[in-house]
């Protein structure tokens, strides 16, 4: 192949490449702009919310629970994005030499079915206040409309859990998320 033929093929390839980029770039830019605008419109319909409740201190049965109300009107889907359990201090009696373990759960309804999110972590001594914790968990949980979730905390490897003298029920559960209007899928066509 002659050098002039090679140069002509290279020039042709460059022209095709530049033409392809020139044609596709505006389409890609337009698609990205539409995607961004749709995301902004979707965020505009989101109603942020947060709620909390105080759990009963796990006692003999080593389980405590509470039901934070989700402050959303009827006709909205509820999404939980963050769950935080907090306790400044507790007195715990370990069962064995193994460290105590907290089991945090959020029970809820999704699609008419009972669901339970769960996470566990070791209990740490926050001397001189005894065992305490603050744990936040990023989640994406879709709750059925008009259902009330239940925060639950339990303990393993302990024989007793009690609030420090003079205190009661010092474990808190915080939920954060957003609500969006339920979109009707009924188009009126049969």
Task: Specify the pairing of strand 150-156 against strand 63-66.
Answer: antiparallel
Claim: this prediction has a pTM higher than 0.95: no
- As a whole number of Å, the end-to-end CA separation of the chain is 66
Lowest mean pLDDT among 51-55, 77-81, 104-108, 145-149: 145-149
pLDDT digits (tens, 9 = 90+) for 74-103: 788 889 999 999 887 777 777 777 777 888
pLDDT of residue 143: 87
Q: CATH for 47-181?
A: 2.60.120
pLDDT value at residue 1: 61
Ramachandran bin of 187, using left for φ above 0, alpha for ψ from -120 to 50, beta for the remaining angles: alpha
- Name the token pair of 60: 């003999």
Residue 34: band (very low, low, confident or very high) from pLDDT cuts 50, 70, 90: very low
Domain ranges of the chain: 1-44, 47-181
- In the Cβ-directed half-sphere of 150, how many Cα atoms lie within 13 Å? 12
Q: Distance (Å, rounded) from C-alpha 188 to C-alpha 65?
A: 44
3-state secondary structure of 57: coil
Q: What is the DSSP string of 62-103?
A: -EEEE-------TTEEEEEEEEEEEEEEEEEEESSSSPPEEE
Instruction: Please count the other Cβ atoms lying within 10 Å of the Cβ belonging to residue 3.
Output: 7
pLDDT of 40 above 90: no
pLDDT of residue 102: 84
């Amino acid at each position: 192949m002659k050098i002039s033929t090679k140069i002509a093929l290279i020039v042709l390839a460059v022209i095709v490449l530049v033409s392809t980029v020139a044609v596709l770039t505006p389409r890609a830019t337009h698609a990205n702009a539409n995607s961004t605008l749709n995301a902004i419109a979707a965020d505009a319909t989101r109603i942020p919310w947060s709620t909390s409740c105080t759990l009963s201190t796990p006692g003999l049965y080593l389980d405590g629970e509470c039901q934070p109300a989700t402050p959303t009107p009827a006709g909205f889907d509820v999404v939980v994005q963050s769950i935080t359990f907090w306790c400044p201090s507790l007195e715990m009696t370990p069962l064995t030499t193994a460290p105590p373990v907290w089991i945090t759960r959020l029970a809820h309804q999704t699609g008419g079915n009972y669901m339970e999110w769960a996470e566990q972590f070791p209990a740490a001594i926050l001397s001189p206040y005894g065992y305490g914790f603050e744990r936040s968990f990023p989640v994406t949980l879709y709750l059925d409309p008009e259902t009330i979730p239940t925060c639950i905390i339990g303990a393993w490897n302990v024989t007793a859990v009690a609030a420090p003298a003079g205190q009661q029920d010092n474990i808190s559960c915080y939920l954060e998320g957003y609500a969006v209007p339920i979109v009707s899928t009924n188009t009126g066509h049969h």
